[in-house]
Amino acid sequence: MLRALAGTARDLGRLQEIGAVLLRYGFGDLVGRLGIILHWKDADQRAPLGGPQRARLALQELGPAFVKLGQILATRVDLFPPEWIAEFEKLQDQAPPAAAQEVRAQLVEDLGTAPEEAFAAFDPEPVAAGSIAQVHRARLADGTEVAVKVRRPGIVPVVEADLRLLARFAEILEARFPDLARFRPREVVRQFTRTLRTELDLAAECRNAERVAQNFREHPEIVVPAVYWAWTGERVNVQAFVDGTPSRDAEALEAAGLDRRVLAHRGAQAMLKMVLEDGFFHADPHPGNVFYLPGDRVAFIDFGMAGHLSERRRDELVQLLNGLVGRDADAVVDILLGWAGAARVDAEKVSLDVDAFIDRYHGLPLHELRMGAMLADMTALLREHQLALPPDLALVLKACVTLETYGRELDPQFDMVGEAAPFLQAATLERFGPARLAKRGWRAGRMLLEVLSDLPHDLRELLRSAKTGKLQVHVDLTSLHRFGVQLDGAANRLAVGIVTAAFIVGSAIVMTVEGGPTLLGLPFFGLLGFLGALVGGAWLLVSILRSGR
């Protein structure tokens, strides 16, 4: 089992570490069901804490990959209740700095020279350190203050080993924990793997930042740090240093003379534009990634985690939000059932619950509507019906909830619905505008022409397969197969029962016949027949008990 979990021998040591940490935080049952066999037991178990707290501490102790996994799980408000989300949100990626000598050696490799020579000034003490990278302050020859972000030396092999193990864990969880299958662990791990590998490439973060900066080129009130590509690569990037006021420091905001209402409005408008207009957004806008600058400007940093919404997904999101704000239950149900895909859902019950959910907000003035509370109630409804959002939309809903929370901290009268309304109206008009209709019509027409042009060839191939006997029709009847298995088991038990009865009757007859070999004074073949009947009867009894019928 260890090799099946680890995949390669080099992962076995890491597997032991993971098992020991899970055991220490009271997840011994999970360790056993995952098949992790520990060579030692850690007696210091910390089970008295609640489940969410233990999970967060275990992820924190397991290192960078698991800290990032916790941050991804914090976005899945559709899968976890609020107390779990609150604990996962505490994983803000804080870590002690890496060894200074290792960081310096790696910088020399990446920059081609010592950092003190590459920059006019370089501070060897990091101003911030996370699980993936740490940031140093430096100054260019022209006096520009920059932030030098350095990936932790030697982190890639550890992360890749953890990703291999997590992929295997996800497979086992879906197979052995039916109650956890609805969380789609394999899908979560796939999303997490893509996100983490992107974050390991510090140049990718800069490409994300430049893409967002390009989208805000006509909005000077939104600041994205400039990238200095001459010193940027996979393991290091250099961006303009943002020396602003933290988003949650109320006293500093007051001292800087910043207008909190304007800041709330501009931050909301920026995120809504990213999501609903551009389809490319900052997916982790926590307080450490948002700063406020003189002139009531809003600065976003750290684009390592970015979200992307396709045109189709944006249309679905607009329909959902319009349905919630406009109290259109049918529209909301259609979207939710579409996202459910092949999952078994009681559509009628979902419809009734959504209608009750919409009615709860009926008559409430728009300015009093709290989008965060509404989305929280909707995600609770999703959990109740074991529905899950697509991963990209989970990031959006989490960003919306976070955005409204920060907006109300800045301005108690902040109206998220009012901020979103113009974007929803514009997105709806664009969706049914001449340009979009023409685009969809052209796409549909092109697909129809392709089908019609291929039709003669496809028909000819179909007829040829039928003539040569290669045409096969496969009918997958899962329920019929299950019935066949049950029928086969019943037939086996019936056959064993008949043979057992024959043994008993035959042995009884043999017992009355004189002559032949004996054992303990009884006919040998009669005893042998009764022994066979005993074995058959025991097997039959165990089979019936195991079947549960």
Q: Which tokens sit at 341?
A: 């895909």
At a CB cut-off of 8 Å and minimum separation 6, what does 295 contact? 221
**Which residues partner with 298 through β-bridges?**
222, 292
Active-site residue flag, 201: no
Is residue 285 within 8 A of residue 402, CB to CB? The reply is yes
Which amino acid is residue 7, in one-letter code? Answer: G
Sign of CA dihedral 447, 448, 451, 452: negative
What CA–CA distance (Å, rounded) separates 32 from 28? 6
Tell me the three state secondary structure of residue 148: strand
User: How close are the terminal C-alpha atoms of the chain, in Å?
Assistant: 32
What CA–CA distance (Å, rounded) separates 265 from 42? 52
Is residue 371 within 8 A of residue 400, CB to CB? The reply is yes
Reading phi first (left if > 0) and then psi (alpha if -120 to 50, else beta), residue 223 is in beta
Helical H segments across 216-308, by residue range: 250-255, 260-272
Reading phi first (left if > 0) and then psi (alpha if -120 to 50, else beta), residue 281 is in beta
> Of 246, 188, 156, 153, which Cα lies nearest the Cα of 69?
188
What CA–CA distance (Å, rounded) separates 444 from 514? 90
Angle at 59 between CA 58 and CA 63, to 5 degrees: 110
Which residue among 11, 110, 284, 302 is the active-site one? 284
- The continuous run of DSSP H or E covering 52 comes out as helix 51-62
Is residue 213 within 8 A of residue 270, CB to CB? The reply is no
Characterize the bridge pairing of strands 290-293 and 236-240: unpaired
What CA–CA distance (Å, rounded) separates 36 from 363? 55
Question: In degrees rounded to 5, what are phi and psi of residue 240?
Answer: -60, 140
Is residue 285 within 8 A of residue 271, CB to CB? The reply is yes
* DSSP at 146: E
Q: Alpha-carbon dihedral of residues 60, 65, 70, 72, nearest 10 degrees? A: 160
Please give the C-alpha separations between residue 18 and each of 157, 228, 299, 358, in angstroms, as whole numbers. 16, 39, 38, 44
Please give the C-alpha separations between residue 506 and each of 60, 511, 524, 525, in angstroms, as whole numbers. 69, 9, 13, 10
Tell me the three state secondary structure of residue 219: coil
Burial class (CB in 10 A: 0-12, 13-18, 19+), 477: exposed
Q: Which residues are catalytic?
A: 284
